[in-house]
């Protein structure tokens, strides 16, 4: 099976992007895996520090490996937004394929120095592991925000991106290009869509030649996503849309099964709701 690096570079050649979906539990993993099987495309399963703390590094790695073996599909595992070297080392040791080492809250030079140090340590554990670094401000928290934060001051410049990629040696770059973690209530209703700085994406790609991830893509205008892929985005993160589907379908199923206590009778509609979101996003990312 192709590794994650080759998978991303092949996606780039084919003008498509690899979908990255965060999971917090087996219900979400089952839904995302079902979407992958339906479409036979590569995907990345992501888990942030909070999600990994709930699921367990080794437990999640074993589950994802079992899906990969059962389906024969390129299903990869990423340690999303990891803020300490200790947590990154734990994920590398558990067999994750990639790590987002996120020190974007630190001053730029310190982010460069510590990211470079971490890459040295992590590649010794697994030379094939891909390390993603982050610069700029894309907000925090894949949940429903009361208001839409103004992140315009924290956009990534092409010069900054080039310096960061050249100085650290990251495999993948996560820039701030109009994207944002989480959604507002108006985005959940579909009244408002996130818009991306497409020109900036193209400039960052031209300056770095690096693989580029779009974080916080939930609630983004579909046409912007297509154009962002054409401009150089290689991996697209969806989390909040899955969480909204999880919550809404769970509420509905519980309401429809008032006296039911059997989880496997309550949860199938939740798995299916998550599958539908993941499948529709994968169709868009893969031009299907």
Length, in residues, of the chain: 288
- Looking only at residues 248 through 267 of this chain, which bind Zn ion when binding is defined by CB under 5 A? none
Q: How far is the CB of 115 from Zn ion (least distance, A)?
A: 16
The residue (of 22 and 168) whose beta carbon lies closer to Zn ion is 22
Site membership for Zn ion, residue 205 (CB under 5 A): no
Stretch that binds Zn ion, among 189-197, 198-206, 209-217, 253-261 (CB under 5 A): 209-217
User: How many residues bind Zn ion, per CB under 5 A?
Assistant: 1
Site membership for Zn ion, residue 215 (CB under 5 A): yes
The residue (of 24 and 253) whose beta carbon lies closer to Zn ion is 24
Q: How far is the CB of 170 from Zn ion (least distance, A)?
A: 15
Q: How far is the CB of 174 from Zn ion (least distance, A)?
A: 7
The residue (of 132 and 224) whose beta carbon lies closer to Zn ion is 132
Stretch that binds Zn ion, among 4-12, 84-92, 143-151, 214-222 (CB under 5 A): 214-222
Tokens of 87: 């947590």
Q: How far is the CB of 259 from Zn ion (least distance, A)?
A: 39
The residue (of 34 and 204) whose beta carbon lies closer to Zn ion is 204
Give the residue nearest to Zn ion (CB): 215
The residue (of 20 and 249) whose beta carbon lies closer to Zn ion is 20
Q: How far is the CB of 134 from Zn ion (least distance, A)?
A: 8
- Looking only at residues 131 through 190 of this chain, which bind Zn ion when binding is defined by CB under 5 A? none
Q: How far is the CB of 138 from Zn ion (least distance, A)?
A: 7
Q: What's the N-to-C CA distance of the chain in angstroms? A: 22
Select from 77, 81, 58 the least CA-distant residue to 67: 77
The residue (of 22 and 286) whose beta carbon lies closer to Zn ion is 22
Site membership for Zn ion, residue 52 (CB under 5 A): no
The residue (of 8 and 267) whose beta carbon lies closer to Zn ion is 8
* Letter string b/e over residues 52-71, b meaning 16 or more CB atoms within 10 A of that residue's CB: beebebeebbebbeebbeee
Q: How far is the CB of 101 from Zn ion (least distance, A)?
A: 12
Q: How far is the CB of 132 from Zn ion (least distance, A)?
A: 10
The residue (of 215 and 275) whose beta carbon lies closer to Zn ion is 215
Task: Give the separation between CA 282 and CA 288, rounded to whole angstroms.
Answer: 8
Q: Under the rule (CB under 5 A), what is the footprint of Zn ion? A: 215
């Amino acid at each position: 099976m192709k590794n994650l690096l080759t998978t991303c570079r092949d996606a780039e050649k084919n003008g498509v992007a690899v979908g990255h979906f965060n999971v917090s539990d087996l219900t979400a993993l089952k839904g995302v895996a079902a979407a992958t099987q339906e479409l036979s495309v590569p995907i990345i399963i992501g888990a942030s520090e909070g999600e990994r703390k709930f699921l367990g590094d080794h437990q999640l790695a074993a589950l994802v490996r079992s899906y990969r073996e059962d389906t024969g599909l390129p299903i990869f595992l990423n340690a999303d937004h990891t803020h300490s070297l200790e947590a990154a080392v734990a994920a590398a040791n558990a067999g994750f394929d990639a790590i987002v080492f996120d020190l974007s809250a630190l001053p730029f030079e310190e982010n460069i120095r510590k990211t470079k140090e971490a890459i040295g340590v992590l590649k010794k554990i697994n030379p094939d592991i891909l390390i993603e670094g982050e610069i700029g401000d894309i907000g925090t928290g894949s949940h429903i925000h009361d208001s839409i934060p103004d992140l315009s001051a924290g956009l990534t410049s092409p010069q900054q991106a080039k310096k960061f990629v050249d100085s650290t040696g990251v495999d993948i770059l996560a820039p701030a290009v109009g994207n944002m973690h989480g959604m507002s209530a108006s985005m959940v209703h579909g009244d408002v869509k996130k818009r991306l700085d497409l020109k900036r994406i193209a400039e960052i790609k031209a300056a770095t030649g690096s693989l580029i991830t779009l974080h916080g893509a939930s609630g983004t205008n579909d046409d912007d996503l297509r154009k962002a892929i054409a401009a150089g985005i290689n991996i697209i993160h969806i989390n909040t849309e899955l969480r909204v589907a999880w919550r809404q379908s769970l509420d509905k199923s519980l309401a429809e099964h008032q006296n039911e206590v059997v989880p496997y009778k309550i949860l199938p509609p939740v798995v299916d709701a998550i599958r539908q979101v993941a499948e529709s996003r994968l169709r868009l990312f893969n031009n299907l």
